[in-house]
Every structure is written in C-alpha cells, then in structure tokens.
Structure 1
Amino acid sequence: MAPVLTTTSHDRDVAGLKYVYPVLSRRAGGLSIGINFNTNNACNWRCIYCQVPGLKIGAAPEMDFQLLEDELRFFLEDVLKGDFYERFQIPGDNRVIKDIAISGNGEPTSLKEFDRAVALIGKIATEAGVLPRSNFVLITNGSLVHQLKVQNGLKILKAYGGEVWFKFDSATESGRRLINNAGQSYRVSLENLMLSARLCPTKLQTCLLDYKKHGLSAKERQAYLDMLKTIKEHISLKGIMLYTIARPSLQQEAGMLEKLPAETLNAFADEIRCLGFDVSVSA
C-alpha cells in the first residue's frame, strides 16, 4: 500500500523513483511534483533547518537525462490518467497539479548541465498538457545565479512561464552564517537576487525560526526591511513568502530550533506590506 501524502512528509523516495517525487506543498497549496537533481544529498550551503538526511557539502552529480525523461513522462501519465490520487489517499481538493518544482536534496543549480535539464522538464510537461496550466518553479538559494549555465536556465524557465523562489533567510552576515552556513556574502547574494529578477519572475522565500528562544530580533527584522527598500529601487519582485519550520531538522542544531508563532510572522508580513510588497505567510 502506498503511504499517505501529507504536508509534513517530503520523502524523496515515496514514489520509488530517482529524480521525481510528489509533495503536498504548504506554499503551493496542493500537489507539487518535485524534481531532485541532488540525489547525492549534496549542497553548497548547510541550513540549520534542513531535513535532508546525511547532508554533505558538494554539488549535484551527473544527470542521467534519459532516466529523468522516462520517470517524468511515467509519473505525469500516472497522475493525469492513472490511480495516483487514490493510491496516495490525496484529498479531493488537492487533486490538481499546482506546480512542477525543481528542488530536492541540495542546490539544484549546481547541476553541470542545469539549463539542459530545465529545458527537458519544460518540454515534457508542456507535451503532457501540465504547462502552462500549472506553475514551473525553481527553488534555489541563488548562490550560483552569476554562472552562465544558471542564467541560461532562468531564461528557459521564463520561456515556459516559470518563476524562481529565491531563498533569503537573513539580511545580516551573522544571520547568514548562523542559519545557512553560507560562505557567500550578503552583498553578492543581493546582486544575484537582482540578476535573477531581471532574467525571470522571482519571489523571495524566507524561513523565519526561533533559535535558542531568541525569536525574531529587532536587528534581523530591520536589516530585512532595509534590504527590501534597496531592492525596490532596482527591481520588481513577484512576491515574498514568509514561512517557519514545519518538519524536524536533521542538522545538529535541531534541538535549538522552534517554530515562530503565527502572530510574529503576520506582524512582520504587515510591516513588509507597508513597503508595497505582496506577502504570503505559511505558519
């Protein structure tokens, strides 16, 4: 018997495939078809809230493009014409493909032939009739947007009507080191964000959490608001997604992390809306 899909379980192996996996996504609001390039559990950051088991520093491995094509065609056929929804006991109001999301167990843009993979996914999903009815999303920490292969991939993503969800959890250097263990500076990430927004519609996604019961500090809040003021002078963002942790971290800091209360998220969202941005909240 197939397991029940829930928003609190994002098991990459639930469908028994290497690259393709289904998710009931809080942020997408329904069935999200995930594409996992980082099957080796490797990423160039180590976010302290990450749920990837055995996470290691590194890049995505070589892609088996034929296997990716076979799996995606098979999976879309199963969802659209098979008994997928019944097998996984998905509620009736979620029985629609909300998006195809390039995400997974690490930073997907680290794939050597990233642009080729984006093009292949877009082609298959369009032929199946999933695109452009559903969204096409790249979920990324944005650290490699300065690379030509990534820029080409973003242009292809835009051509298929897609968008980028760009991770930006902190606008301070100390916050980035704490939350993301990111070696890249705030300034470089900001430049990459603005480049991403010029190449493809881009949303900011920000995970806010309580570390050691410190809550959301005034310093972090003000730095983030100041960053948004800077962004508004140069580019237009499609929106901002604020969320907090929903599943247990598998990193060493797990015991120090707690969800931020919904009232804290909503109050911060209201401050951001006052700057003229569209904000969604997942508490």
Structure 2
Amino acid sequence: MASTLTTTDHSRDVAGLKYVYPVLSRRAGGLSIGINFNTNNACNWRCIYCQVPDLKIGAAPEMDFQLLEDELRFFLDDVLNGDFYERFQIPAGNRVIKDIAISGNGEPTSLNEFDRAVVLIGEIATEVGVLPQSNFVLITNGSLVHQPKVQYGLKKLREYGGEVWFKFDSATEAGRRLINNARQSYQASLENLMLSAQLCPTKLQTCLLDYDKRGLPKEERQAYLDMLKAVREHVSLRGVMLYTIARPSMQPESGWLEKLPAETLNAFANEIRQLGFDVSVSV
C-alpha cells in the first residue's frame, strides 16, 4: 500500500528504489522526481536543519549507472503511463511532473562521475518526453563548482534546459559555521556562485530559521543584501528562493530550531526585490 505524498515528508525510499524517489516539493510547486546520488548519507557540509538521519561527512559513493538507468526508466513510465498518481493519492492539481531534481542525502556534485550522471538523466528524460516540458534541477551547496567535472556537468545541465539551485544560507563567516558547518570560506562560495551563474542558469536557495530565539539577525540580513549587490555587478541570477524549515531536523541542534514567521520572510523578500531580484517565499 503506497503512502500519501506530502510536502513535510521527503522520504528517499518511499518508492522502494535506490536512486529515484518522488516528493511533493514546496519550491517546485508540485511533483518533483528526486535523484539521490548520496545513498550513503554522506555530505561535505552538516547543515543544522538537515533532515537526513545518521548524516556523516564524506562524498557520494560510486554510482551503479545501469541501476540508475533502469530505475529512472521504470519510474518515469509508472508516472506517465501507470497508476502512480492514484497509488500515492496525488491531488489532481499536482498530477504533473514539475521537475527532475538531482538532490538527495548529501552533496550530489561529490559524485565521482557527476557529469556522466547528468548526461544519463538528461538523455532518458528527453527520450521519454519529460524534458524539456519539465524542469531539470541540480540542488547543491555549490562548494565543488570549481572542479572541472562539476563545471562540465553544469554545462550539460544547461544544454538540457536545466538550472542550478545554489544553497546560500548565510553571507557571514559566523553564520556559515553555525548553520552549515561549512569549512569553505564565504569568499570561495561567492566565487563558486558567480561561476555557476556563468555556466548554467542559477537560483539562490536560502533557508532562514530561528536559532535559539534570535529571529533573523540584522547583521545577517544586511550581509545577505550586500552579497546580492556584489553578485549583480558580475552575473545575473534567475531568482532567489527563501524558505524556512518544514520538516524535523535530524541534527543535534534540532531543539534550538524554529520556523521563521511568514511576515519575517516576506519582509526580507521585499527588501531583496528592491534590489531587482525575483523572489519566491515558501513557508
């Protein structure tokens, strides 16, 4: 018996497959077909809001490309020609594939043959008619964009009409250490962001949360706005996506985290819009 898909449950094994999983995505606005490269729950960052259980520091394991192909073909056929929507009780308004999203339980660009995987997914989705009608998304913390394999993968993603959702939760060193436990500096991340935008259409994805009753600190807000001013001098971004936590964190800091109220996110979104950026808000 299949379960009901909801925006608050992004279980990677809901479809019983290793690499492919369906979610109802707030940011995509409907059915998103996720591709999980990090089946070992390994990531090079440890974001305190991460919902991945038993998260560990590391990289994606070697990919079984034949299994990925078999699973993706099977799953897309089930959605397009089978009774997937009925089994998972998808509301009528969401019975369309909004995107195929390379995401999962860690940083997907850490996959050894990341570029090959992008090409394989793009080829299959195009062959069965999902692309270019649906979007093709890479959800990444952007920390490895400086690597040649990742850059080639972004170029191929662009060829398939895709886009990058680049995580940028804080524009201060202290905020990055607190929220992302990221060892990469703010400046290095900023340079990778601008490189990403040069290689493939790129959106910022920013998780805003209340840590220890601090709300959205003024210094964090101002640093983020200053970062956007710097970015627009060099590259064009497709948009900014602000969101807050919707699912329970599986990290030790979970008890310190709360959602930010919608009015806080919307007020910040308006400040960003005044800089000339398109902004979406998910609460």
TM exceeds 0.5? yes
CA distance in 2, matches of 1:60, 1:250: 19
The Cα shift of 1:100 comes to 0.0
Q: Which residue of 2 aligns with 1:279?
A: 279
Q: Which residue of 2 aligns with 1:69?
A: 69
CA distance in 1, matches of 2:6, 2:269: 26
SS in 2 for 1:237: coil
Q: What amino acid is the match of 1:70?
A: D
CA distance in 2, matches of 1:269, 1:230: 17
| Cα shift readout 1:65-100 (whole Å, capped 9, x = no counterpart) | 000000000000000000000000000000000000
The Cα shift of 1:251 comes to 0.1
CA distance in 2, matches of 1:88, 1:68: 22
The Cα shift of 1:216 comes to 0.3
Q: Which residue of 2 aligns with 1:81?
A: 81
CA distance in 2, matches of 1:55, 1:224: 28
CA distance in 2, matches of 1:128, 1:281: 32
SS in 1 for 2:33: strand
Q: Which residue of 2 aligns with 1:106?
A: 106
Q: Is 1:178 matched up with 2:174?
A: no
Q: Which residue of 1 aligns with 2:198?
A: 198
CA distance in 2, matches of 1:260, 1:229: 24
| Cα shift readout 1:103-161 (whole Å, capped 9, x = no counterpart) | 00000000000000000000000001000000000000000000000000000000000
Structure 1 runs (4+) deviating above 6 angstroms are: none
Q: Paired residues, what number? A: 283
CA RMSD of aligned residues (A): 0.2
Q: Which residue of 2 aligns with 1:156?
A: 156
Q: Which residue of 2 aligns with 1:21?
A: 21
Q: Which residue of 1 aligns with 2:141?
A: 141
Q: Which residue of 1 aligns with 2:6?
A: 6
Q: Which residue of 1 aligns with 2:244?
A: 244
The Cα shift of 1:44 comes to 0.0
Q: What amino acid is the match of 1:235?
A: V
SS in 2 for 1:253: helix
Q: What amino acid is the match of 2:135?
A: N
SS in 2 for 1:80: helix
Q: What amino acid is the match of 2:217?
A: S
The Cα shift of 1:58 comes to 0.1
CA distance in 1, matches of 2:263, 2:92: 30
Q: Which residue of 1 aligns with 2:231?
A: 231
Q: Is 1:91 matched up with 2:79?
A: no
SS in 1 for 2:252: coil
| Cα shift readout 1:225-248 (whole Å, capped 9, x = no counterpart) | 000000010000000000000001
Q: What amino acid is the match of 2:233?
A: E
CA distance in 1, matches of 2:55, 2:146: 24
Aligned identity (percent) is 85
SS in 2 for 1:102: strand
SS in 2 for 1:176: helix
The Cα shift of 1:207 comes to 0.1
The Cα shift of 1:28 comes to 0.4
SS in 2 for 1:153: helix
Q: Which residue of 2 aligns with 1:207?
A: 207
Q: Is 1:219 matched up with 2:216?
A: no
Q: What amino acid is the match of 1:125?
A: A
CA distance in 2, matches of 1:94, 1:56: 34
| Cα shift readout 1:152-209 (whole Å, capped 9, x = no counterpart) | 0000000000000000000000000000000000000000000000000000000000
CA distance in 2, matches of 1:23, 1:57: 25
The Cα shift of 1:35 comes to 0.1
